Structure 1
């Protein structure tokens, strides 16, 4: 496969060591597998892990976490064409805390916090607040408890980890004790309306140099080897091009609402942080019933790094590259636990092995190019 406008000498590297994605060997191995697939898309060699001490004139990098401006500059990343991921001016922008404003009268906030952003996005996200002190967290919870249960979320948790539903002041105090004042000041915490009967949409846009696609879809859960409910994959409708092309197709009303929320949130981030840029954008948007019976739909969080849906994203881009007339596909990712996992013959396996902490796990993706269900 020949990718258009490939720079002579282009090579692909991964860059490991980010805080968010360095949870286990299976994440590292999955990232390398997806990096190999991106290299094929770009018709470029995959050269392993990036080393600051060994510079290459034409690297394309795949970091395992969202980068700071300083890290991006150190790696030679200056634009979207240089990497698969995102760059933010402050660490908190890459975490869940950016999805909410501070509670009224809040006294604690990190340097660079955009006070006006919370008000602008308040109708795009679930009711909630971010807090960076115990007093602010208790004030936020007291306001939210008036309308039902409250979910506490740690800023950098992935796949539903680092979350709990809190019912009263003592439960909140115990959670804050576990977090610790120093971490609370440095990273913050999210307090948010808890939803029932929730459906979580994924809305995203990816661009790997000349290759571009956008999508919407739904996430599904599975049981891991310890019996916990965790992320089990995503089923996506992917179109060639940007968000305008995506909104031009037929879809359910909730999906259209989720895309609108995600696009508006993305625009608000750009306006608040002009230095932000990303080639991979994924937004989780939840729709469900609040404790007072209201139907609520709002952005939960953002991901500007290689993630759980990236196998489907990259698979769709490769299919589009092979067939310039193709405009729309269905793509899915699956994460299945245990030794006996049935993988479809047409699937691309992104990881299969036994992680020291997670146990036996298989990850794969499929791409379906026809409405009738034939796969490619």
Structure 2
């Protein structure tokens, strides 16, 4: 177990309070300016309906964030009027419109909605779209290798000790050069930088393997999106390290993700188990962590700080980093950040219940929070669980998602 501290034998489960927030976040009073805050959920999926379980569960989390902030909730940023009153001449106060988008925003998108600081959204803002993908997790094969405008050579140098051996490439020639170097040390994992949930990844054992995959990518696609090649690991455990801020509540955590079987027998995301402390990454580093866990937290913080320093305009209120720890083909133990997530995610239900617990009890320092996803026709969520979604999955069978939090984790 990744427990920061040992849990007592009979943990107390906190029940999610959906009626009223523990406190409202105020906007400074300005004459002629509306101070009521509005939280808008913005789903980037096309044709996302009420039966889209991913969008539906994230919408539920966004509603909870609105309650935590003491705000009205609207479904879709387009539902937020440009001015709060019809012909009243009133204007929105800065930060009165808070956005929960399902994707990381670009600077242009953020500015369109008046988002200029991490206090204005649950997620992140990047200066260029590629900064939100896996492609920033490795350096180029050569300093002058092709890269998109806005690429930061300094970032690759800053994170070398925080990631697995690997390269990001934007041409077939560089992909072959990267593979040649990496294959000398064992098998290589080839990644589509925009792949989600383990999709768009292939293990290659030879240059011929690489060529078979390069045939699926045009030169233009490679130049615009790139590819990632990194050391392949076995016997892997993946840790999640994160930091979230909503209003004046800040928390950081380390945890694990689980897999489960869906109704057609495929392994899919099954939930997250998080050890959460009040405060940011620095507070997390002050906790009693196992050596491998401390290493993961340090690598996540190194990656996070490098992004802040090397990509001007980047900021985020929700940061999550996946760190893989496992053996390479020669039995050497490696640890490194696989990817970043600066948007609402599968663990955000757990993040929300942890933040609500901290907001409700200022003396609380640590909690254990979790999300669980169950594909079964007969499901009874445990006592105290907050149900995020209960409805059909993509195959029309029942899927239940819930979150819960344990308060008594201080020994």
Match status 1:3 vs 2:23 = yes
What TM-score results when the alignment is normalised by the length of structure 2? 0.86
Structure 2 CA distance for partners of 1:141 and 1:226, relative to 1, 3 Å: farther
Q: d(CA) in 1 for partners of 2:42 and 2:292?
A: 36
Aligned to 1:177: 215
Match status 1:65 vs 2:116 = no
Question: Cα RMSD over matched residues?
Answer: 2.1
Q: 1:106: Cα distance to partner?
A: 6.2
SS state at 1:300 partner: strand
Q: 1:223: Cα distance to partner?
A: 2.2
Match status 1:272 vs 2:310 = yes
Deviations 1:148-192 (A, max 9, x none): 111111111111111111122222122222233322221111111
Unaligned runs of 5+ in 2: 1-20, 28-34, 85-91
Aligned to 1:354: 392
Match status 1:115 vs 2:153 = yes
Q: d(CA) in 2 for partners of 1:198 and 1:345?
A: 33
Deviations 1:309-331 (A, max 9, x none): 10000110001111111110000
Structure 2 CA distance for partners of 1:52 and 1:182, relative to 1, 3 Å: farther
The answer to which structure, 1 or 2, has the higher relative contact order (CA under 8 A, 6+ apart) is: 2
Match of 1:30 among 52, 57, 65: 57
Match status 1:337 vs 2:364 = no
Aligned to 2:123: 85
Q: d(CA) in 1 for partners of 2:128 and 2:244?
A: 22
Q: d(CA) in 1 for partners of 2:264 and 2:251?
A: 36
How do residues 85-164 of structure 1 correspond to structure 2 at under 5 angstroms? 85-104=123-142, 107-164=145-202
Where in structure 1 do 4 or more consecutive aligned residues deviate above 6 Å?
none
Q: 1:6: Cα distance to partner?
A: 2.3
Q: d(CA) in 2 for partners of 1:358 and 1:126?
A: 39
Task: Give the conservation status (yes or no) of the 8 Å contact 2:41–2:77.
Answer: yes
Structure 2 CA distance for partners of 1:368 and 1:139, relative to 1, 3 Å: same
Task: Give the conservation status (yes or no) of the 8 Å contact 1:149–1:167.
Answer: yes
Task: Give the conservation status (yes or no) of the 8 Å contact 2:121–2:317.
Answer: yes
Task: Give the conservation status (yes or no) of the 8 Å contact 2:24–2:70.
Answer: no
Match of 2:292 among 243, 248, 254: 254
Task: Give the conservation status (yes or no) of the 8 Å contact 1:160–1:230.
Answer: no
Paired residues, what number? 371
Structure 2 CA distance for partners of 1:198 and 1:363, relative to 1, 3 Å: same
Match status 1:45 vs 2:72 = yes
Q: 1:291: Cα distance to partner?
A: 1.0
Q: 1:342: Cα distance to partner?
A: 4.0
Structure 2 CA distance for partners of 1:53 and 1:330, relative to 1, 3 Å: closer
Q: 1:3: Cα distance to partner?
A: 2.1
Structure number with greater Rg is: 2
SS state at 1:3 partner: coil
Q: 1:358: Cα distance to partner?
A: 7.9
SS state at 1:151 partner: strand
Q: d(CA) in 1 for partners of 2:71 and 2:391?
A: 27
Task: Give the conservation status (yes or no) of the 8 Å contact 1:86–1:277.
Answer: yes
Structure 2 CA distance for partners of 1:161 and 1:115, relative to 1, 3 Å: same
Match of 1:213 among 235, 244, 251: 251
Q: 1:372: Cα distance to partner?
A: 8.9
Q: 1:226: Cα distance to partner?
A: 3.4
Task: Give the conservation status (yes or no) of the 8 Å contact 1:218–1:235.
Answer: yes
Structure 2 CA distance for partners of 1:291 and 1:168, relative to 1, 3 Å: same
Task: Give the conservation status (yes or no) of the 8 Å contact 1:15–1:50.
Answer: yes
What TM-score results when the alignment is normalised by the length of structure 1? 0.93
Match of 2:363 among 319, 322, 325: 325
Q: 1:31: Cα distance to partner?
A: 1.6
Task: Give the conservation status (yes or no) of the 8 Å contact 2:243–2:280.
Answer: yes
SS state at 2:81 partner: coil
